[in-house]
Amino acid sequence: MIPPTPSHVRCSIVPPYLLARLAGLEAPEHQSAAAAARRALVELDPIHHARATAPRDSSRGAGTAVVLALRRTIADAGGSESLPGQIVRREGDPPMGDAAVDEAYAGLGATYELFSEVYKRASIDNSGLPLDATVHYGQQYDNAFWDGTRMVFGDGDGEVFGRFTASLTVIGHELAHGFTQYSSNLRYQGQSGALNESISDVFGVLVEQRQLGQSADAASWLVGEGLFTDQVEGRALRSLKAPGTAYDDDVLGKDPQPATMADYVDTTSDNGGVHINSGIPNHAFYIAAARLGGNAWERCGQIWYDAATGGRVPTDCDFSLFASVTVEAAIARFGDGSPEADAVRYAWREVGVL
């Protein structure tokens, strides 16, 4: 079993620095959003403790049958903060007409299909793990998270955030934390934590791109598009194509992500800047995918998948080592001197890592 990461890590889709900014709003017209953000911040520690103590291997125990098929279960918390909630839709059931339930069901399926059909992985743990989700969690809850065993979605405060199932990249991102949990289990601190976030962003956008049939040049490369209400000046939480440009709002501030090592943020907050500095490996992936063209989930996504699952990424991996592993993965699959290997090398040089 891979050793667990430290407890009290912050791995939810909305960065803690953004929640903290919202929580500090004092204007009367923003008090509802501020209260919702404060509740979301309070929730982080117990959620992430649960993640840190979740299983890291895919064993089922002796004599346990492994079912290698998609199995989804959606539960409704009904506005409470008790998990899992009441089961309202199982695998094969027809749509309910509840947008959050049906979006979660579809998003789990799209994520499963990317890993299964493209990378030949049996669910996120490679042993047929059932995919469970809970919707309508909490009152005006401003987040979505993977707690180590299931997906959980809030409905948002209605002022800054809408429901979190509305963005397929959010569902793919959080389930990809489960993929990392069962593969490299990157420590959620500093550069290894930023890689943990980046891998989730990468596979989150690939889930959406494959579902929409978008090539690298046609895709938005946004994470969390559709989360903000029309009161916010911004399109998404993050951009792989142009880190630092996802939002620029009087209330939320400006997207702080750097695109290259020249602007790397050295900080003790956000577990050493895991949500901020993930913009650098994110941008490297985008550059490589754009240089190769076509469908990003095929060649570039395969390289990142091979790197994450090849056993050469330690839990404390930094950007430089991960870059080297992705180059080696590209060479192993496509050959030295191939367009794929050259694109990956070029990308990491462009962001200042190699």
Please give the average per-residue pLDDT across 120-131, as a whole number. Answer: 96
pLDDT single digits (tens) 251-268 = 999 999 999 999 999 999
Q: Name which residue leads in pLDDT, 50 or 128.
A: 128
Whether the pLDDT of residue 59 is over 50: the answer is: no
Is CATH 1.10.10.60 the classification given to domain 16-52+67-181?
no
pLDDT for 41: 85
Catalytic residue among 103, 159, 174, 328: 174
Q: Is 174 marked active-site?
A: yes
φ, ψ of residue 306 in degrees (nearest 5): -60, -40
| 2: confidence class by pLDDT, cuts 50, 70, 90 | very low
Any idea which of 40-44, 202-206, 279-283, 294-298 has the lowest mean pLDDT? 40-44
pLDDT single digits (tens) 320-333 = 999 999 999 999 99
pLDDT for 61: 41
Is CATH 1.10.390.10 the classification given to domain 190-350?
yes
pLDDT for 9: 45
Please give the average per-residue pLDDT across 5-26, as a whole number. Answer: 75
Report the mean per-residue pLDDT for the chain.
91
C-alpha dist (Å) from residue 229 to 19, 81, 155: 16, 24, 12
Whether the pLDDT of residue 54 is over 70: the answer is: no
Outline where the chain has alpha helix (H): 16-23, 31-52, 99-113, 168-181, 190-212, 270-277, 279-292, 299-309, 319-334, 339-350
The secondary structure of residue 327, as a DSSP letter, is H
pLDDT for 73: 98
Please give the average per-residue pLDDT across 82-97, as a whole number. Answer: 97
Catalytic residue among 48, 177, 275, 283: 275
How large is the greatest C-alpha to C-alpha distance in the chain, in angstroms?
60
Please give the average per-residue pLDDT across 235-239, as a whole number. Answer: 97
Sign (positive or negative) of CA dihedral 220, 223, 225, 229:
negative
pTM of full prediction above 0.85: yes
Q: Name which residue leads in pLDDT, 340 or 50.
A: 340
Whether the pLDDT of residue 57 is over 70: the answer is: no
Q: Is 159 marked active-site?
A: no
Whether the pLDDT of residue 245 is over 70: the answer is: yes
Whether the pLDDT of residue 6 is over 60: the answer is: no
pLDDT for 67: 61
Q: Is 99 exposed, middle or buried (0-12, 13-18, 19+ CB in 10 A)?
A: middle
Whether the pLDDT of residue 137 is over 60: the answer is: yes
pLDDT single digits (tens) 69-88 = 999 999 999 999 999 999 99
CA 337 to chain centre: 31
Whether the pLDDT of residue 203 is over 70: the answer is: yes
Q: Which amino acid is at 348?
A: W
The answer to whether 211 and 334 have CB atoms below 8 angstroms apart is no
Domain boundaries, the chain: 16-52+67-181, 190-350
pLDDT for 55: 55
